[in-house]
Amino acid sequence: MRKQIAAANWKMNLTLQQGEQLLDDIISQPHSLKENQQVVFAIPAPYLAMAQQKLRNKEQVFVAAQNCHSKKSGAYTGEISVDMLSSLGVHYVVLGHSERREYFNESNAFLAEKVNICLENNITPIFCCGEPLAVREAGTQNEYVALQLKESLYHLTADQLRKVVIAYEPIWAIGTGKTASSAQAQEMHAFIRGNIAAAYNAETANAISILYGGSVKAANAVELFSQPDVDGGLVGGASLVADEFVAIINALQ
């Protein structure tokens, strides 16, 4: 059975004290996770140790970094290595987020290197893919996403790929005033799973969790997560509000 995941991406928000309070507010509220369900908090790097300490006894609740470097160590001032993350007990890393691609020019090839080093160190990549508005309007979103998958993931063996979580971000539906429907989310998730099946096999495709990252909120989480190929969400703004994110957790099917 595939993992269902409610993943919070705090991005560059909150002070340490605000982050501590938010975690307290979320974990103090009732929510029951089934055996195949997880909650992941992608925390700003300065707060990773705090979050690990606070969540250490919470079953099926994990901490993620929002980024890592492709090299194991070296003269890369300001960067974060997988060894650093491993030493903190971090289980997940978000890779290839649309903001990293757009603002920091991260290429598919560079992300392939990051995927490799994470898997080599038993850290699960949450690999983000998705198309911008111009691509969606041109109707070439499938080809665009397929190339992201091919160039960043398809060098992996089937066993390695099964250790990756994929997050689909319809960039065109974030901050544009346009809305992605649950049917559009399902359509792309089904395409991604089918593309993996064609490149590998159906068993591998059906083992991989594919999260939706397009403005998930408490109001739409139940409908989104009810889609057969949507295995949870990578949540931005709504993850900064305790009641909202708890409702999203509880929307996992």
Residues designated as active site:
97, 169
How far is Cα 233 from Cα 7, in angstroms, rounded to an integer? Answer: 6
How far is Cα 40 from Cα 249, in angstroms, rounded to an integer? Answer: 10
60: DSSP letter = T
The alpha carbon torsion through 128, 217, 233, 38 (nearest 10 deg) reads 140
Is the Cβ–Cβ distance between 198 and 154 less than 8 Å?
Answer: no
CB atoms near residue 159 (< 10 Å): 10
Close Cβ partners of 107 (under 8 Å, ≥ 6 residues apart): none
Residue type at 43 in one-letter notation: I
State which H helix or E strand residue 129 sits in. Answer: strand 124-129
* Phi, psi for residue 172 in degrees, rounded to 5: -65, -20
In the block, residue with structure tokens 């757009």: 102
Helices (H), 96-132: 98-104, 108-120
Going by DSSP bridges, is the β-strand pair 210-212/165-168 parallel, antiparallel, or unpaired? parallel
